Amino acid sequence: MSTFQAPKGTYDLIPPESAKYLAVREAIAAPLRNSGYGYIETPGFENVELFARGVGESTDIVTKEMYAFETKGGDQLALRPEGTASVLRAALEANLHKLGNLPVKLWYSGSYYRYERPQKGRYRHFSQVGAEAIGAEDPALDAELIILADQAYRSLGLRNFRILLNSLGDKECRPVYREALQTFLRGLDLDEETLRRADINPLRVLDDKRPDVQKQLTDAPLLRDYLCDACKAYHEEVRQLITAAGVSFEDDPKLVRGLDYYTRTTFEFVHDGLGSQSAVGGGGRYDGLSEMIGGPALPSVGWALGVDRTVLALEAEGVELELPASTSVFAVPLGDEARRVLFTKVTELRKLGIAADFSYGSKGLKGAMKSANRSGARYTIVAGERDLAEGVVQLKDMESGDQRAVGVNEIVAELESKLG
């Protein structure tokens, strides 16, 4: 074993397990690509200020969990703890909103970093696929994103997830609610840090997972009782559109998200098979974020789904993904001439899009056949000097065990017709 190990709270993705993660990413991205979302990639680190302003000074993410550092040049940077602020920053910087085609629809995939207490389903480096629709205020967009996430999960075979839905109001009605909530919270028996949080962003206190705090919050005023008419109508339309698409959801009047930028629609995907870390993804509308980071008013909505959490949810449901075989044909040469001939054939098969591998090193027949077995290949081609003298190779079907001679010049076409 090497003297080095992955840092605490991180993990390496290695085959064959990694194929599952790739399949999950692909399944989440597929409906987005199909709905006008273009791919965007942003740096793994950004200016600290982007997250402090965008995600919110009072959030745990910014106060406790961000990996912040100073560069040799004196810049204050942070590893990205989430994707939305970076994507919006990139879209503004590239002036995508000025190209006249709003909303700007983008999707992304990558690693994010938070200094958290590591536990199953919660790591310090984690992988997400996200989507953002920037620059339009339309309930149909909110509904579209929820429906696409639902579609992605169902395409993977997930069934036991629930969608929780709420509205956080807007700048008209939220201040009235905020005041009512603050008044309520001040009357509770809370520690100093929680009271300080109640002053900065009282909605964050509702998200406190500690049982002694939750117990005191049973009679907290609910945002839905304070929504203005415009927010009520907007939320009702989102609900109707999702329902009409056959997607079931639960109204959760206490749902708030852990980031300061959300307005109106907010939602979470939860899976009950994951214990305390039950959220597999979530998102919502963030109409004020663009202005918070110095851009023009660009109402937007988006979500991020956790790849690691989704894999855990699949395992909890016992869903086995149908993964394509990483190798379909394995070539076993016996002797130098056979090495040259079979290596050429493997190269031809690969050019045709057939997954082919080769017995490297000087293994004997027994060792090479073990490698062929381990590769999961459906067919093995074996050739020795005598076979080549007769102009053939031996083709073995690894499922049935049948073996027969096929002409050296026919083998590629034969395998293409079997596997193509």
The answer to whether 23 touches 321, Cβ cutoff 8 Å, is yes
CA distance 189 to 196: 13
Per-residue model confidence (pLDDT) at position 323: 87
pLDDT, position 59: 65
Residue 207: band (very low, low, confident or very high) from pLDDT cuts 50, 70, 90? confident
CATH, domain range 17-173+227-317: 3.30.930.10
- Place domain 329-419 in its CATH homologous superfamily: Anticodon-binding domain (3.40.50.800)
Q: What is the pLDDT of residues 76-123, one digit of tens each?
A: 999 999 999 999 999 999 999 999 889 999 999 999 999 988 777 788
Q: Is the pLDDT of residue 190 over 90?
A: no
Are 17-173+227-317 and 329-419 the same fold in CATH?
A: no
- Among candidates 358, 326, 289, 328, which has minimal Cα distance to 52? 289
pLDDT above 80 for 333:
yes
Distance of CA 226 to the CA centre of its chain: 34
Among 130, 208, 137, 126, smallest CA distance to 170 is for 137
Share of the chain above pLDDT 90, in %: 70
Domain range list for the chain: 17-173+227-317, 329-419
